[in-house]
A and B are shown apart, each in its own frame.
Chain A
């Protein structure tokens, strides 16, 4: 599991790559939260290179979204593969974190 971040104007962008399974989440969970929550910025997360998502990964996304929302920030995901999308739909994750098709759409969702 790999993670990078940069800023697009006022929006923070996180790029995740690899398997968001038990082992992958264990590797990046602390860094993921630390790259998003202290800055308090609206954040978009590119998950187009995430090849697998299970409950540990969903838990990490929800937990960080909740922490950021306490500081007034929003998160949107974008770029899910069909397999990852099925997992997201199965647990209705989009009730909490919106999922966009493109980066521009995701930025629009958190900036509105």
Chain B
């Protein structure tokens, strides 16, 4: 993760059928660069809704870069953002190590003896729906072979 601030976190961004599609690079800079693109796409939101979205985005992207990817690989996270009638839905696909953020064991409460592991409960509690699918190794889609798909909605 050395020199991660010098890398661009955003590989590409596109609007397709009213949805925002982002490709994020394997760098912690993807957290901030991706967040800015999502915030710009969604426009003004209720402050609490925006905060929940940003928490979910930060935790999922940082978790994948830290734990799902090999250091310095060219692996990527594909994010789709859709503004629905009662919720905003984010779909994250990545080609990292299969990992289920829904079933992972986590303390859920801050613990003075265990300072990590708070990201997953934050994702679960800040979202109104959360689903994980492990994808079978399939055909490459423009060089991308996703192994994980996490879909998360935040009520808006």
Contacts and interface: CB of A to CB of B under 8 A. Distances in A.
A55 B118 contact: yes
Contact of B54 (A52, A66, A95): A52
A63 interface: yes
Given A54-B55, A82-B48, A22 B108 contact: no
B126 A66 contact: no
Contacts of B50: 83
B101 to A, nearest CB: 12
B47 interface: yes
Interface residues of B, number: 28
Contacts of A87: 51, 55, 122, 126
B126 A23 contact: no
Interface stretch (B68-76, B89-97, B109-117, B139-147): B109-117
Nearest to B125: A90
Contact of B110 (A22, A23, A52, A91): A91
B24 interface: no
Nearest to B50: A83
B110 A21 contact: no
B109 A59 contact: no
Nearest to B5: A23
B115 A62 contact: yes
Contact of B112 (A21, A26, A82, A96): A96
A63 B116 CA distance: 10
B156 to A, nearest CB: 15
B23 interface: no
Nearest to A92: B109
A93 interface: yes
Interface in A10-36: 21-23, 26
Interface of A: 21-23, 26, 52, 54-56, 58-59, 62-63, 65-66, 69, 82-84, 86-87, 90-93, 95-97
Interface of B: 5, 28-29, 31-32, 47-48, 50-52, 54-55, 58-59, 62, 108-112, 115-116, 118-119, 121-122, 125-126
